[in-house]
């Protein structure tokens, strides 16, 4: 197995504050690796250390075989980095932005033209190439920013919340592009706080307060989750929800459409406990079904043990 990203005990402190706390992981060639966590979890800080933009406080890492501490300049040539705020020049046209990115990577002449043609085609923005960036909708800007990151055809892409603030249709569209990259053998390291997006990844690391609390494929995370989830259908679901949400054997309760989902620890006789509770409280018609946990459930269940 070829590991294109490898980090051990990576830590970043800002003064007394530990933003990234002793994390270790590796990413295989061609993998879509998701870094999933809430705001402030340490995602951007990790990406910056991997891209050779920020020095770790301790720990070590390699990207494409290059040391993230001593070979930062080399790393920049083999990666594409799309930062959290798409860094585009609003007063330049699409074409001018791409030419500018090209100059950063030292592309000229034929190689620059080839790169720009490829990016315009990939992003489907050829017909807008002479428009000012500030006139473009968010989804197009996003694809242009991605284009800027892949102009030099890098085998590894770091995408920092690439779809935040973009509408769902555009997000889907964007993920199709990411899949295509992955099929071409590129490796993708992508951060997100959208649970549904994490489902698209081959593997994900859940990060909270600078620590990785779980790391596996989405299916394995759900399968190995040490809680069970049930769906309750009943009339008056709002009343029932209010009645049961604070029961001691219920870790988490939430409303999904007109159903109630509850999460409980394993090995608790949930059906028995609920049926006697419902009997006492006059809830006579209901259906209780065990369901597959969602990634969000997995996240919430794991997150309870951690918080800043």
Ligand X SMILES: Nc1ncnc2c1ncn2[C@@H]1O[C@H](COP(=O)(O)OP(=O)(O)O)[C@@H](O)[C@H]1O
Whose CA is closest to 18, among 148, 187, 284, 207?
Answer: 207
Q: Whose Cβ is closer to Mg ion: residue 42's or residue 61's? A: 42
Piece of the chain touching ligand X by CB under 6 A; list 37-45, 100-108, 272-280, 292-300: 37-45
CB of 45 to Mg ion, least distance (A): 8
CB of 12 to Mg ion, least distance (A): 13
Query: Distances in Å between the alpha carbon of 217 and those of 44, 174, 194?
Result: 21, 21, 16
CB of 132 to ligand X, least distance (A): 29
Q: Whose Cβ is closer to Mg ion: residue 171's or residue 227's? A: 171
User: Hey, what are 297's tokens?
Assistant: 């459930």
CB of 162 to ligand X, least distance (A): 13
User: Which spans of this chain sit near Mg ion (rule: CB under 5 A)?
Assistant: 43-44, 84
Piece of the chain touching ligand X by CB under 6 A; list 35-43, 213-221, 267-275, 285-293: 35-43
Q: CB under 5 to 8 A by kind: which of Mg ion, ligand X, none does 83 bind?
A: none
CB of 37 to ligand X, least distance (A): 5
Q: Do strands 252-256 and 3-14 pair parallel, antiparallel, or not at all (unpaired)? A: unpaired
Q: Whose Cβ is closer to ligand X: residue 19's or residue 253's? A: 19
203 contributes a contact to ligand X by CB under 6 A: no
40 contributes a contact to ligand X by CB under 6 A: yes
Q: Quick check: 146 and 174 in contact, CB under 8 A?
A: yes
Determine which residue in the list 5, 7, 32, 44 makes contact with ligand X, applying CB under 6 A. Answer: 44
Q: Quick check: 202 and 52 in contact, CB under 8 A?
A: no
Q: Whose Cβ is closer to Mg ion: residue 43's or residue 200's? A: 43
Q: Whose Cβ is closer to ligand X: residue 5's or residue 41's? A: 41
Q: Whose Cβ is closer to ligand X: residue 40's or residue 126's? A: 40
Q: CB under 5 to 8 A by kind: which of ligand X, Mg ion, none does 41 bind?
A: ligand X
Q: CB under 5 to 8 A by kind: which of ligand X, Mg ion, none does 45 bind?
A: ligand X
* Size, binding site for ligand X by CB under 6 A: 10
What distance in Å separates the CA atoms of residue 250 and residue 282, rounded to the nearest whole number?
A: 19
Determine which residue in the list 27, 33, 45, 197 makes contact with ligand X, applying CB under 6 A. Answer: 45
- CB-based contacts of 279: which residues, under 8 Å, 6+ apart? none
98 contributes a contact to ligand X by CB under 6 A: no
Whose CA is closest to 56, among 101, 219, 47, 256?
Answer: 47
37 contributes a contact to ligand X by CB under 6 A: yes
CB of 191 to ligand X, least distance (A): 7
CB of 168 to ligand X, least distance (A): 21
42 contributes a contact to ligand X by CB under 6 A: yes
The footprint of ligand X (CB under 6 A) covers: 14, 19, 37, 39-45
């Amino acid at each position: 197995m070829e590991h294109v990203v490898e980090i051990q005990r990576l830590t970043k402190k800002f003064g007394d504050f530990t933003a990234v706390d002793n994390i270790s992981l590796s990413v295989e060639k061609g993998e879509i690796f998701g870094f999933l966590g809430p705001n402030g979890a340490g995602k951007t800080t990790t990406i910056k250390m991997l891209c050779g933009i920020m020095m770790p406080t301790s720990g070590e890492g390699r990207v494409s075989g290059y040391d993230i501490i001593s070979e930062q300049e080399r790393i920049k040539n083999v990666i594409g980095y799309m930062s959290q705020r798409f860094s585009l020049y609003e007063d330049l046209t699409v074409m001018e932005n791409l030419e500018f990115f090209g100059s950063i990577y030292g592309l000229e002449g034929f190689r620059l033209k080839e790169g720009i043609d490829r990016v315009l085609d990939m992003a489907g923005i050829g017909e807008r190439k002479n428009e000012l960036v500030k006139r473009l909708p968010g989804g197009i800007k996003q694809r242009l920013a991605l284009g800027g990151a892949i102009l030099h055809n890098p085998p590894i892409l770091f995408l920092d919340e690439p779809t935040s603030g973009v509408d769902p249709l555009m997000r889907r569209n964007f993920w199709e592009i990411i899949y295509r990259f992955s099929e071409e053998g590129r490796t993708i390291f992508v951060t997100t706080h959208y649970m549904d997006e994490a489902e698209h990844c081959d593997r994900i690391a859940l990060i909270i307060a600078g620590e990785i609390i779980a790391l596996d494929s989405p299916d394995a995370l759900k399968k190995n989750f040490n809680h069970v989830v049930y769906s309750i259908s009943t009339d008056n679901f709002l009343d029932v929800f209010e009645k049961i949400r604070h029961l001691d054997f219920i870790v988490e309760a939430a409303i999904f459409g007109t159903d109630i989902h509850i999460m409980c620890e394993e090995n608790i006789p949930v059906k028995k406990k609920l049926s006697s509770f419902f009997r006492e409280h006059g809830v006579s018609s209901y259906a209780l079904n065990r369901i597959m946990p969602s990634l969000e459930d997995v996240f919430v269940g794991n997150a309870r043990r951690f918080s800043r």
